[in-house]
Amino acid sequence: MFDSGIASGLDVARALALGARAAFSGRGFLTGLAGAGDDGAAYVAALLTEELRTAMAQHGALDLAALRRLAVRHPTSWSPR
C-alpha cells in the first residue's frame, strides 16, 4: 500500500510500478469535496482516472497488472552521494 503524496494518476501509476498493491489519495478528494461538494469529489475521481489511463497508455500498459511489471529506474535516486 502507498499512502502518501498521491496527487495525480501518474503518481498512482508510479506507486503500482514500484510494487504497491493499492495507492490512497485522500487530499484531492477532500479538496474537491470542500470546494464543490459531491460534484467536486466526483470530478477529482474522474481526473485521477483519466490521468492514470494516460500514464498507462504512454507506457504501453493495457491493465494495472502490466504496470506492476514495468522496470522503474531513476538514474540519480539510487546512486551513493
pTM over 0.95: no
pLDDT tens, 12-54? 999 999 889 999 988 988 999 999 999 999 999 999 999 999 9
pLDDT tens, 47-61? 999 999 999 999 999
CA distance 74 to 36: 37
Which DSSP string corresponds to 25-44?
A: --HHHHHHHHHHHHHHHHHH
Q: In 10 A of CB 61, how many CB atoms?
A: 20
